[in-house]
Amino acid sequence: MISRRALARVTRNATARSLSTRASAILSALDIPTNQEVPGVYDGTWGGSGDLLESVCPTTGEASPQELQTSLEKSREAYEVIRSVPAPRRGELLRQIREALAAKRDDLGALVSLEMGKIRTEGVGEVQEFVDIADYAVGLSRMMNGRVVASERPGHSILEVPNPLGVVAVLSAFNFPVAVYGWNLALSLAAGNATIWKPSHSTPLCSVAVTKIVANVLEKNGLPGAVAGLVIGGREAGEAVVESTLVDMVSFTGSENVGRQVGKVVQSRFGKVLLELGGNNASIIMPDADLDLAVPAVFFGAVGTAGQRCTSTRRLYLHRDIASEFLARLQKFYATLKPGDPLDSSTLLGPVHTRAAVGVYSNAVDRLRKAGADILRGGVPYGKNHLTEGLQGGNWVQPTIAVPVDVNVKDVIWKTETFAPILTVGVFDKLEEAIAWNNGVPQGLSSSLWTRDIRNVGKWIGPAGSDCGIVNVNVGTSGAEIGAAFGGNKSTGWGRESGGDAWKQYVRWSACTLNFSDEAPLAQGVSFASPA
């Protein structure tokens, strides 16, 4: 059994009973029983007879190897059904999913807070992302167009045609237990694919709740439930999904180390892979920046979701002329932070997700101290004297601001993504220097420049500027909208999800040359006529 006391991060002892009551109400609103094991496998019917995953009060059943194989086979069968449903009709399914999600948005957002630990407004905002991408995909279902290409041969045309790809496996991470699946499901379903979801083993109830909502829509429309299947499990389940030749594409969100292995396995069987990996994101503050905007944005970027977003601000590069003022202002924001119950609307700082995350935080701070960094704020987990009685059993760390002796992007303290609220600060004199630091790390997800000089903007978004997938100006590194493609370059994995042209990864492309003439000429003027 894998024991997971998710709610204990938030409260224990004296207030455990009251939180349990709230948790029961939220789970009941999402049709999840609180007094029995919850099936963790869905392929048209609910099951799960493997090992148990404990998520506080309810208990979630993992997929056994045989159930996993059956689910994959049913996903394949479901694909053969959904691929023949006209794309606008698939869009109508997405519209219904969108409506069903919106009706449960607040309850599902609260469940995200309970199980993952992010504050309630962020939990609700995450569900809203799923709603938004479903909206987007409804329109996209009528716009997934190919192209007509001019042919050099008379009486010929060339078509580039997108068709459904097959079965798409989504392996999502704990930090966005709803939205990342939503990005993938919406585009995959619009494209005519079946999707099988293997969520993080530490957020099983979020995945069960979402799947119940989606399954109800599919069932009402007479479609196989395995169009949007679910398998809950640990590492073995993930490996089996990644290795399966029944899966045409794997969308993986997680660490660089695991992503590297996923990519190798999928490519070895010539499958398609979409990777969303590490994000060691930097904000650059120029001397002409509007600090009234930049300081709160960096504060949210570094502290939001307790530093556990892929797009969290982890590096801050300040121009020497404004460095002191910026840090003074930023520290005032940090001084207002208090750990609190994520379900309380006044809370800005929730817990980190696991005990292991506390260790990651402490190890990173120790490295900074050993390197001679000046710790301006934080630097230790919260002690009991900083926590109310109900919070003392949780995973609480103090958001930290550290100023190392110098900037060396080859050093581990700069080049490593630490999934915790630690902000590392460097001071620069020229924009080109800061851009080089921004680009000098292995990751390339999100980046942000704060300036009012259009010449700086041109450098930043141009060929010698940021090498990240997200290149913002006067917007923080965190909090992307769904309309543009989301993803990063370099060791972030080169994957793209959500808006823009991301849908093109979820189809297979065919170049179709049509001859409607009475001749059959060869391209490039080649002559291959029989002498007879």
* Residues whose CB is less than 8 angstroms from the CB of residue 166 and which lie 6 or more positions away in sequence, other chains included: 76, 79, 193, 194, 247, 248, 249, 508
Q: Quick one: tokens of 91? A: 């869009």
- The whole-angstrom separation of Cα 147 and Cα 161 is 7
Give me the active site residues, please. 276
Q: Quick one: tokens of 328? A: 């003074």
**Which pLDDT does position 54 carry in this prediction?**
59
**Which pLDDT does position 20 carry in this prediction?**
61
Q: Are 42 and 211 in contact (CB under 8 A)?
A: yes
Nearest of 523, 413, 526 to residue 156 by alpha carbon: 523
Q: Which residue do the tokens 């620069």 mark? A: 428
- The whole-angstrom separation of Cα 126 and Cα 176 is 7
Q: Which domains does the chain have, with CATH numbers?
A: 41-48+61-84+146-277+497-510 (3.40.605.10), 281-483 (3.40.309.10)
Q: Which residue do the tokens 């020497």 mark? A: 320
Half-sphere exposure of 123 (CA within 13 A, CB side): 29
Nearest of 409, 415, 488 to residue 446 by alpha carbon: 488
> 369: how many CB neighbours lie within 10 A of its CB?
13
Radius of gyration for the chain, computed over Cα atoms and rounded to the nearest angstrom = 25
> 240: how many CB neighbours lie within 10 A of its CB?
18
Q: Are 337 and 307 in contact (CB under 8 A)?
A: no
Q: Cα-flanking dihedrals φ and ψ of residue 66, to 5°?
A: -70, -40
pTM beyond cutoff 0.85 = yes
Q: Are 187 and 215 in contact (CB under 8 A)?
A: no
- The whole-angstrom separation of Cα 428 and Cα 451 is 14
2-4 and 52-55 as β-strands: parallel, antiparallel, unpaired?
parallel
- The whole-angstrom separation of Cα 453 and Cα 286 is 9
Burial class (CB in 10 A: 0-12, 13-18, 19+), 365: buried
For each of the chain's 532 residues, which pLDDT tens digit applies?
A: 223 333 333 333 333 334 467 778 888 889 888 777 888 888 888 887 777 765 532 234 566 778 899 999 999 999 999 999 999 999 999 999 999 999 999 999 999 999 999 999 999 999 999 999 999 999 999 999 999 999 999 999 999 999 999 999 999 999 999 999 999 999 999 999 999 999 999 999 999 999 999 999 999 999 999 999 999 999 999 999 999 999 999 999 999 999 999 999 999 999 999 999 999 999 999 999 999 999 999 999 999 999 999 999 999 999 999 999 999 999 999 999 999 999 999 999 999 999 999 999 999 999 999 999 999 999 999 988 888 888 888 899 999 999 999 999 999 999 999 999 999 999 999 999 999 999 999 999 999 999 999 999 999 999 999 999 999 999 999 988 999 999 999 999 999 999 999 999 999 999 999 999 999 999 999 999 887 6
SS (H, E, C) 58-118: CEEECCCHHHHHHHHHHHHHHHHHHCCCCHHHHHHHHHHHHHHHHHCHHHHHHHHHHHHCC
Strand partners, 486: 497
**Which pLDDT does position 407 carry in this prediction?**
98
Q: Which helix (H) or strand (E) holds 514?
A: strand 507-515
SS (H, E, C) 423-477: EEEEEECCHHHHHHHHHCCCEECEEEEECCCHHHHHHHHCCCCCCCCEEEECCCC
**Which pLDDT does position 95 carry in this prediction?**
98
Q: Which helix (H) or strand (E) holds 293?
A: helix 291-303
Strand partners, 229: 196
Give DSSP secondary structure letters for 313-373: EEEEEEETTTHHHHHHHHHHHHHT--B--TTSTT--B---SSHHHHHHHHHHHHHHHHTT-
| Cα end-to-end distance, the chain, whole Å | 77
List % helix, strand, coil for the chain (3-state, nearest 5). Answer: 40, 20, 35
